[in-house]
Amino acid sequence: MSKLYEHQSPYQNIQVWESESRDGSTVRALYLDDDLQFDDNNELAVHEAFLEPLVRYTDLDNKQVLILGGGDGGMARTTLNWFPHAKITQCEIDEKVIEVSKEYFPKLNNDGKVFEDISLHIGDGQQYVYNLIEDNKQDKWSRDIRYDTTILDLTIHPQFDFKSIATISDHVSFFISYKTIEQFDLNTFSLFEDYRAEPVNIKGYHNDSIIFCAGKFK
C-alpha cells in the first residue's frame, strides 16, 4: 500500500492511498483525519446505502435535495443516477476535497462534471442550515426555502443539530460510524415520525459495517 497524496487543509488531513488487489488492479482509497471515507471497490455501496432507506419515504425526482459534505461528488452522482431530475444543492466545507477527488477519483464525479449539474456552495454545512433558517425568518413576503430531503454525507458529530435540519427539510439520511455511536444522541430519533436504522455490511470499515439511517421528520 502506497501513499499517493497527503495534504493538511485548514479543516482536516487528506490522504489518498493506493493498493494492489488480488487480480492485479489498483484500488485507491480516501482518508480524512486517518478515517477511511471510501475506496474504489466500496464507494458505490456506500453512496447507495444513503438512498436505499429513503425510497420508503420519498421519491427524489423533481424534488429539492440538500447534500451536506460529500465533496468527492459520489453522493451527488449516485443521487442523479437514481433520480435524474433531482434538484441538488450541495454544501462542502473543504474545497480541497473536491480538488483532490477530481484528480484521484474522477469516476465518482464524472470527471468533475457532476459539480456543474448541481448548485455547489463552499462552507460549513451546519452554518448553511442556520443561515437558511434565518433567511426564511427575515423574508416574510416570499415562500420559505425548504428541501424535501437532506443527505448528511459526513461523519455525524455529537454537536450536530438535527432540530435545525427538521426546520428546513422533510426527510433526512445519514450514517453513524462505530467510532461515533457511543457519542450519538439517541434522543435524535424522537424527531422522526418514522425512521429506519440498519447496519449495512461494507468491506473496509470497522466490523465491515456502518449504521445507515433515514427518516421522515414529524
Measured in degrees and rounded to the nearest 5, phi and psi for residue 120 equal -105, 130
In a domain, 86, yes or no: yes
In a domain, 55, yes or no: yes
What's the domain range around 141?
42-217
First to last CA, the chain: 47
The more confidently predicted of residues 119 and 145 is 119
C-alpha grid cell, residue 49:
446505502
180 pLDDT more than 90: no
In a domain, 189, yes or no: yes
Q: Alpha carbon of 69 to those of 26, 39, 55, 56, 182: distances in Å?
A: 26, 17, 21, 23, 22
C-alpha grid cell, residue 76:
451527488
Rounded-to-integer distance, Cα 149 and Cα 207, Å:
29
Q: DSSP state, 46?
A: H
Q: Taking residues 7-27, what's their average pLDDT?
A: 91
Give catalytic residues, as residue numbers.
153
User: What pLDDT is recorded for position 142?
Assistant: 65
Q: How many domains is the chain partitioned into structurally? A: 1
In a domain, 17, yes or no: no
Q: Which of 92-101, 112-121, 183-192 has the lowest mean pLDDT?
A: 183-192
Rounded-to-integer distance, Cα 111 and Cα 177, Å:
29
In a domain, 4, yes or no: no
39 pLDDT more than 70: yes
C-alpha grid cell, residue 71:
465533496
Q: DSSP state, 31?
A: E
User: What pLDDT is recorded for position 186?
Assistant: 86
In a domain, 142, yes or no: yes
Q: What is the CATH number of the domain that holds 81?
A: 3.40.50.150
Residue by residue, what is the 3-state secondary structure of 116-165?
Answer: HCCEEEECCHHHHHHHHHHHHHHCCCCCCCCEEEEEEECCCCCCCCHHHH
In a domain, 62, yes or no: yes
In a domain, 10, yes or no: no
Rounded-to-integer distance, Cα 195 and Cα 185, Å:
15
